[in-house]
Homo-oligomer: A and B are copies of this chain.
């Protein structure tokens, strides 16, 4: 099981999201263009105020085009979120590859770095929190929930760094993900560049929490 298998993956999610899978080239550009526009608009006016007309206009498309690809307004937001989550996972893989972690903490740290980087650079990235809390009965695919990422990460930590896997590890990673998500969000709440104090504290909290269960970082290589 390689890293790319774990995190990269294909956009499995699109199954329920997009009405019509684009066949021609220009349409795929439209599709991403719509999401780009949505990302910018979300940053400007927020979740509640965003309208499909705004997205269409910003993307240089007509309102009908939006609905050709997405069944409704929230589907656009969900697709944007899916793309953000996907990019996050891809970024984690890049980060792992480029930094070459020597122990499990380095690997976890890569995820934090990826998250912070994307929060800073990717428009609309804060959407990753949207609909987290919302009750989503038919949420289509399940690889958007924090549990999915926790499971994937558990696989890496167990196989690559010898952490004892199983449901315990998954559970603790899910707790870790929730903590990190909230503290990092807080870091960006008022500071668009991310309050370093919260970011640093987030790393510390995660590390201490996991060390409590899996021992010092050095010993687990």
Decide if A134 touches B48 in the complex (CB within 8 Å). yes
Minimum C-beta distance from A56 to chain B (A)? 20
**Does A4 reach chain B (CB closer than 8 Å)?**
no
| The stretch of A12-20, A95-103, A111-119, A180-188 that contacts the partner chain | A180-188
Roughly how many angstroms separate A186 CA and B129 CA in the complex, as a whole number?
13
Instruction: Pick from B146, B172, B183, B212: contact of A186, CB below 8 A.
Output: B146
The verdict on A135 contacting B182 (CB below 8 Å), with A175-B201, A175-B205, A208-B208 known, is no
Contacts of A182 in B (CB 8 A): 178-179, 181-182
* A74 at the binding interface (Cβ < 8 Å): yes
A46, CB-defined interface residue at 8 Å:
yes
User: Is A214 interfacial (CB 8 A cutoff)?
Assistant: no
Closest to A44 in B: B135
Instruction: Contact check, A205 vs B179: say whether CB atoms are below 8 A apart.
Output: yes
**Complex: how many Å from CA A208 to CA B213?**
12
Residues of B within 8 A of A130 (CB): 133
Which among B74, B126, B205 is the interface contact of A209 at CB below 8 angstroms? Answer: B205
Instruction: Indicate with 1 or 0, residue by residue over A62-77, a CB within 8 angstroms of chain B CB atoms.
Output: 0000000000001000
Select one of B46, B186, B208 contacting A135, CB under 8 A: B46
A-B contact pairs, 8 of them (CB 8 A): A47-B134, A48-B134, A126-B133, A171-B201, A175-B183, A179-B205, A205-B209, A208-B209
